[in-house]
Structure 1
Amino acid sequence: MPHLGPTDSSRTPRFAGPASFARLPRLDEVGTADIVVAGVPFDAGVSYRPGARFGPAHVRESSRLLRPYHPALDVSPFEVAQVADAGDVAVNPFNIEEALETVEESALALTASGARLLTIGGDHTISLPLLRAAKQRHGEIALLHFDAHLDTWDTYFGADYTHGTPFRRAVEEGLLDTEALCHLGTRGPLYSKKDLEDDRRFGFGIVTAADIYHQGVVEVVDRVRQRIGDRPLYVSIDIDVLDPAHAPGTGTPEAGGMTSRELLEILRGLQGLNLVGADVVEVSPPYDHAEITGIAASHVAYDLVALLALRHEAEASIATDPEGPPA
């Protein structure tokens, strides 16, 4: 039975109809899905400019122009997997710990059937409960973290749970495989050299934005693939990994970042890895211009869906023919 795909743009103009991600069907229209897209409109963990609570709606609106065939990865993701939009998780905007519990419970519910989850934030605080859920589903997780910042700080104003602390908490909670952790795209000033020392102690490798510029995408992808291996992989993308020229609509912008082309090419280099979940966070529409940030984020999310679809296709093929070649 064919999968239910996006609205046909030859019959319904792209600027009309419900603004689901990539104009995909809602989860309640298909019942179950192989890949679920969900929004978490939450930004109570931000330390500077707010507005990421409006990120999921903005990314969905900016995704209207996405098309069903991905030529760079040679896949039609909505044909090889049932992809659906589950809408937004309703989280408490006034109680961070309650919100984190809600996100974790929702992620577990959305993946109970074996689906893989792509989450659109919201601020980076939400990655912690998403990793908690991924750990329950897949065991210790390899993490590839795209960000201008480390996000392994301890506290802000005595608060343990903020958008600058999720990966420190994740290490402390034993969610991550500390042999397979990597930041990509970091740059800018830090509070002190101890930030880097702490980060190294947690097990993270760092590929800075300058490393990507000097070494190039191919070498960076090779280094990442060697570090990750065949472990279950979670990819977390703070849109501020991009230079403000490519993503002005974010809460804590830093000069000297990656281009959208570099980010997309690195993601495409992850084809074949055991991607089990992902998020795209920190899109803040009030600071966006002409949907620059929303369009970048929607294409990043589309590439992640394509990678998840390829993984689903490979696993389905192995299930059908266990003697066949691995993905």
Structure 2
Amino acid sequence: MTVTLFGFPWDASSSYARGAALAPPVIRAMLFSEASSPWSISGANAREIVTAYDFADLPEDGAAARASIEARIASALKSGRKPLSLGGDHSVTYPILKAMKEKHGPLNILHVDAHTDLYEAFEGDRYSHACPFARAIEDGCVGNLVQVGLRSVTPHCRTFGERHGVVMLGAEETGAIPYDRLGGPLYVSIDLDGLDPAFAPGVSHPEPGGLSTREVLQILAKLPVSPVGADIVELNPERDINMMTAGVAARFVKELAALMSD
């Protein structure tokens, strides 16, 4: 099955620093850079798998932007394509999951992040980038949610996660990932601040002590089924160093595209 690569240039739901809205075209440029091969580690050509691109602008209003994201994902699913989305901040994941649920029912989700994103509201905003998985759980979009890379978990989010059966694992606990809970339909959401800043410095909310690029790739390689969709979010190009984080994001695009084509 072929993949549509989406770019959602949205960061108005960010709580600290803007900049993530600049990320989609930067990652796309890295994919097509002469300095970067299109091949995945397994030998798949991402440029052959990703055969459609949707990088349209979003409305300035938050509700209208979420509706646009949901409708565009739904259209790709209706045409039999798998969506691989580039944020933008992590708030874009909620409308994506709403559209995915209509097609596939509740999803099993692998979520790589330093943060749980399980706030019921953050700074008065129920649709903040700190809230997408709380909204997704409330809307019945989630079967199993497995989070890995966590190292900034508030008591509020821990309580919410425990109440809803979320598996919450630190960066040192990759060996405890319950892959048996990541069967189909599987969705993968990678917040780049799940990685240690040594590997992904270009994020707005860096947290030392995170995953390495290799560890994330190993996790992806162990997934038991082909994902029906995925996203990569929270690259802030204004904070990147020598395009290092953009290159990591491009690598994840290649590996996820290869997995999604199976």
Q: Check whether TM > 0.5.
A: yes
TM-superposition CA deviations, 1:93-144 (whole Å, max 9, x none) = 3x11111011000111122211001000100000000000100111111111
Letter in 1 for 2:37: R
Matched, 1:57 2:61: no
Q: Which amino acid aligns with 1:196?
A: R
Q: Residues 294, 68 of structure 1: CA spacing in aligned structure 2 closer, same or farther, 3 A cutoff?
A: closer
Give identity over the alignment, percent. 34
Distance of 1:149 and 1:185 partners within structure 2 = 8
Aligned residue type for 2:4? V
Q: Which amino acid aligns with 1:113?
A: S
Give, in whole Å, the separation in 2 of the partners of 1:240 and 1:269. Answer: 21
Counting only pairs closer than 5 Å after superposition, residues 225-240 of structure 1 correspond to structure 2 as 225-229=179-183, 231-240=184-193
Deviations 1:266-294 (A, max 9, x none): 11111x41410000000010000100110
Preserved CA contact (<8 Å) 2:94 2:132: yes
Contact 2:108–2:145 (CA under 8 A) maintained in structure 1: yes
- The match for 1:16 is none
Q: Which residue of 1 aligns with 2:156?
A: 194
Q: Counterparts of 1:122-201 in structure 2 under 5 Å?
A: 122-177=88-143, 180-188=144-152, 190-191=153-154, 193-201=155-163
* Cα distance in 1, alignment partners of residues 9 and 229 from structure 2: 18
1: CA distance between counterparts of 2:158 and 2:56? 34
Report the Cα distance in structure 1 between the residues aligned to 2:15 and 2:78, rounded to whole angstroms.
33
Structure 1 equivalent of residue 229 of structure 2:
277
Query: Which has the bigger relative contact order, CA under 8 A and spacing at least 6?
Result: 2
2:231 and 2:108 mapped to 1: Cα distance?
14
Counting matched residue pairs gives 260
Distance in 2 between residues matched to 1:116 and 1:275, nearest whole Å: 9
Q: Which runs of structure 2 are paired with 1:195-234 in the superposition (5 Å)?
A: 195-212=157-174, 219-220=175-176, 223-229=177-183, 231-234=184-187
RMSD of aligned residue pairs (Cα, Å): 1.7
Contact 1:89/1:103 (<8 A) preserved: no
Q: Give the C-alpha shift of residue 87 in structure 1.
A: 3.4
* Paired residue secondary structure (1:104): helix
Q: Kindly tell me: are residues 41 and 307 of structure 1, through their superposed partners in 2, closer, same or farther at Cα, counting changes over 3 Å?
A: same
- Alpha-carbon distance between aligned partners in 2 of 1:153 and 1:129, rounded to the nearest angstrom: 16
CA distance in 2, matches of 1:69, 1:92: 34
Q: CA–CA distance in 1 between the matches of 2:225 and 2:54? A: 27
Does 2:259 correspond to 1:307?
yes
Q: Is the 8 A contact 1:73 1:268 kept in 2?
A: no
Q: Which residue of 2 aligns with 1:41?
A: 9
TM-score scaled by structure 2? 0.94
Segments of 5+ residues of structure 2 without an aligned counterpart are none
- Preserved CA contact (<8 Å) 2:148 2:173: no
| Post-superposition offset of 1:242 | 0.7
Q: 2:56 aligns with which of 82, 89, 113?
A: 89
Structure 1 stretches of at least 4 aligned residues deviating more than 3 Å after TM superposition? 74-79
Q: Distance in 2 between matches of 1:302 and 1:274?
A: 14
Q: What is the Cα deviation at residue 199 of structure 1?
A: 1.0
Larger Rg belongs to:
1
Q: Within 2, Cα distance between the matches of 1:141 and 1:173?
A: 12
Q: In 2 relative to 1, CA 55–69 (structure 1 residues): closer, same or farther, beyond 3 Å?
A: closer
Cα distance in 2 for partners of 1:224, 1:36 equals: 29
* CA distance, structure 1, for counterparts of residue 150 and residue 248 of structure 2: 18
CA distance in 2, matches of 1:143, 1:133: 14
CA contact (8 A) 2:226 2:259 kept: no
Match of 1:291 among 243, 253, 258: 243
Structure 2 partner of 1:7 = none
Task: Say if 1:168 and 1:202, in contact at 8 Å, map to a contact too.
Answer: no
> 1:98 is paired with a residue of what secondary structure?
helix
Cα distance change of structure 1 residues 58 and 78 upon mapping to structure 2, 3 Å threshold: closer
Query: What one-letter code is carried by the residue in structure 2 that aligns with 1:254?
Result: E
Q: TM-score, normalised by structure 1?
A: 0.76
> In structure 2, the residue corresponding to 1:249 is in which secondary structure?
coil
